[in-house]
């Protein structure tokens, strides 16, 4: 793996990006301490991003309005469906009610 200082990275970013496009991975160093890595995206990461962007463009998904508070989300009161109640019907009912 190639190494580059922050100064070298700032001065040669376009060239380093070209190297990454050709498959290279580059470790970025700040005073000889690794702080970041430039590497090619794999096809799963790209396809996942493309899928999300495509859904947003088609109006089937929206970008987040704010950052998720994970602690609050996990601590919220859980809702359980009674036995025999269809989760699909419950979801459709929630959508009709605007929840």
Strand-pairing partners, residue 4, are 28
Q: How confident is the model at residue 28 (pLDDT cuts 50, 70, 90)?
A: very high
pLDDT of residue 46: 66
Domain extents for the chain?
A: 2-45, 67-98
Q: How confident is the model at residue 70 (pLDDT cuts 50, 70, 90)?
A: very high
Q: List, for residues 48-62, the tens digit of each pLDDT value.
A: 778 888 888 888 888
Distance CA 87, CA 93 (A): 10
**DSSP-derived secondary structure letter, 39:** -
pTM: 0.47
Distance CA 84, CA 90 (A): 11
| Long-range residue pairs from 5-9, CB within 8 A, at least 24 positions apart, any chain | 5/29, 5/30, 6/30, 6/35
**Higher model confidence: residue 94 or residue 36?**
36
Domain 2-45 is found in CATH 1.10.3470: no
């Amino acid at each position: 793996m190639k190494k580059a200082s922050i100064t070298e990275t700032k001065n040669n970013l376009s060239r380093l990006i070209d190297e990454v496009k050709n498959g290279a991975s580059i470790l970025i160093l700040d005073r000889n301490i690794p702080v970041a890595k430039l590497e090619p995206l794999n096809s799963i990461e790209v396809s996942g991003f493309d899928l999300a962007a495509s859904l947003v463009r088609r109006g089937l998904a929206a970008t987040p309005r704010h950052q998720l508070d994970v602690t609050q989300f996990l601590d919220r009161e859980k809702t359980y469906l009674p036995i025999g109640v269809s989760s699909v019907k419950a979801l459709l009912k929630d959508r009709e009610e605007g929840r």
